Amino acid sequence: MTPAIETEDLRVSYGKLEVLRGVTLGIPAQQGVVLLGANGCGKSTLMRSLNALEKPQSGTIRIHGETLSTASGTRLREIRRGMGYVFQQFNLVPQLSAFQNVLLGAMGRHRLGLLGCLSLTASAEERARAMHSLERVGMVDRALHRPAELSGGQQQRVAIARMLMQAPRVVVADEPIASLDPKAGREVLDLLWRVVREEGLSMLCTLHQLDLAREYADRVIGLKAGRVAVDAAIGDTDTEQLNALYSGMTDQDDEPAGVAA
């Protein structure tokens, strides 16, 4: 079976700063992986590259065997359609209701784009699917609320419903609970992993809490200063190894002179 996500010697830099310095990893289908690492170690850049929101300098990315780095136009959109993205800041459109925001998740699969998923013009089938997605995240009674009228946790639930609406095969979640309080964060994370398991999706999810990582993940990948430092099944990691990700030279800037390219 082709891996859901595969990267080979991925390098990204901003000006002189090399953020990713040759990341190679593979995530098989239906595996749930937690990505750990200190702030600034390149986690977000890696996630964004996987969706081509960031352009790598070199290296290859394959999503379900399709090469992302060379894809553009329709093919790029095709690959993106198969990948659900959950953001730290939820990224709902503030002026639209939760229901309309969820409907927008279907935009990629309609030839007419927006027309296929406006509340006014969407087919009865898509409208029903959007409502069902909201039901699965427990937000049916808030369907007509705008994001500003919802709590952070509720907004992230709506964002997860939008992701469900998209019906992806692989999910990338970039610190999905970092802006939520511990209780709401826990609930959202529960929901996210439950949905991912129920749908049989693969997921790469960044987290900052080691205990939560242990609880949910099949496997842990640790990033340190732009390189993979830990990559092991969750049972094979010890706390010391994971804590080391957060100590010492975690930033690309910290690298001693001479070593940095």
Partner 1 sequence: MSEHTNIPPRFRAPSALTWVLVVGFAAFFIQGIVASDISLDRLVRGASNLVRFLGQAVPPDFSRAPNIADAMLETLNIAVVGVTFGCILSVPLALLAARNTAPNALVRTFARFVISVSRTIPDLIWALIFVVTVGLGPLAGILAIIMDTIGFAARFYSERFEEVQKGPSEALTSTGAGRLSVILGAILPESFASMTATSLFSVEKAIRSAVTLGLVGAGGIGVELSTAMRLFRYDQAAAIILVILVVVVAFEQLSSTIRKRII
| Positions that interact with partner 1 (CB under 8 A) | 51, 53, 77-85, 87, 89-96, 104-105, 107-109, 113-114, 159, 162, 166
The helix or strand, by DSSP H or E, that contains position 108, with its residue range, turns out to be none
Torsion over CA: 169, 92, 129, 184 (sign) = positive
Instruction: Give the largest CA-CA distance in the chain.
Output: 62
Residue 118 or 232 with smaller CB distance to partner 1: 118
CB neighbours of 130 closer than 8 A, spacing ≥ 6? 99, 102, 103, 105, 106, 122, 161, 165
Residue 78 or 218 with smaller CB distance to partner 1: 78
Residue 173 or 217 with smaller CB distance to partner 1: 173
Q: How far is the CB of 80 from partner 1 (least distance, A)?
A: 4
Q: How far is the CB of 140 from partner 1 (least distance, A)?
A: 22
Residue 148 or 259 with smaller CB distance to partner 1: 148
Residue 59 CA to residue 49 CA, distance in Å, equals: 11
Torsion over CA: 205, 31, 12, 22 (sign) = positive
Q: How far is the CB of 93 from partner 1 (least distance, A)?
A: 4
Residue 188 or 245 with smaller CB distance to partner 1: 188
Q: How far is the CB of 166 from partner 1 (least distance, A)?
A: 5
Q: How far is the CB of 150 from partner 1 (least distance, A)?
A: 15
CA neighbor of 45 nearest in space, from 66, 32, 59: 59
Residue 144 or 249 with smaller CB distance to partner 1: 144
CA neighbor of 137 nearest in space, from 210, 84, 63, 60: 84
Residue 223 CA to residue 250 CA, distance in Å, equals: 9
Q: How far is the CB of 259 from partner 1 (least distance, A)?
A: 34
Q: How far is the CB of 91 from partner 1 (least distance, A)?
A: 4
Q: How many CB atoms lie within 10 A of CB 65?
A: 10
Residue 89 CA to residue 207 CA, distance in Å, equals: 14
Residue 114 or 233 with smaller CB distance to partner 1: 114
Would you state the structure tokens that stand for residue 151, as one six-digit string?
């709590």
Residue 113 or 248 with smaller CB distance to partner 1: 113
CA neighbor of 2 nearest in space, from 26, 32, 35, 23: 26
Q: How far is the CB of 241 from partner 1 (least distance, A)?
A: 32
Residue 234 CA to residue 231 CA, distance in Å, equals: 9
